[in-house]
Amino acid sequence: AQTVTQSQPEMSVQEAETVTLSCTYDTSESNYYLFWYKQPPSRQMILVIRQEAYKQQNATENRFSVNFQKAAKSFSLKISDSQLGDTAMYFCAFMKHGGNTPLVFGKGTRLSVIA
């Protein structure tokens, strides 16, 4: 079974600074997908970024980028120029390639952006 570990329960960052959220996972699969989802307070979960394991290039979405280290089974999220609206729970998630497989989530990291 796959597991996802987020070792930082809470983090804080000053507005306009850069922060990195850590995620490691355990799997015997060679092909899979990794995701970062954001869940703002009292609002719905939204996709931040998606990475296919077969792609060596790290995914980026505006101020959000990942550092995908397949051999180390590490998938960290970097948020540049942090904004107050980035305050949220961030969940790292794994999905095996092929077949009807669910998302497996980590326990989340609560990020607070401070003015």
Partner 1 sequence: EAEVAQSPRYKITEKSQAVAFWCDPISGHATLYWYRQILGQGPELLVQFQDESVVDDSQLPKDRFSAERLKGVDSTLKIQPAELGDSAMYLCASSFHYQETQYFGPGTRLLVL
Which one of 16-24, 33-41, 56-64, 65-73 is the stretch in contact with partner 1 (CB under 8 A)?
33-41
Contact 51, 41 (CB under 8 A): no
Burial string for 60-75 (b: 16+ CB within 10 Å, else e) reads eeeebbbebeeeebeb
Which one of 53-61, 63-71, 80-88, 96-104 is the stretch in contact with partner 1 (CB under 8 A)?
96-104
Residue 2 near partner 1 by CB under 8 A: no
Residue 11 near partner 1 by CB under 8 A: no
Q: 44: exposed, middle or buried (C-beta count within 10 Å: 0-12, 13-18, 19+)?
A: exposed
Residues in touch with partner 1 (CB under 8 A)? 4, 33, 35, 37, 43-47, 50, 91, 93, 95, 97-103, 105-108
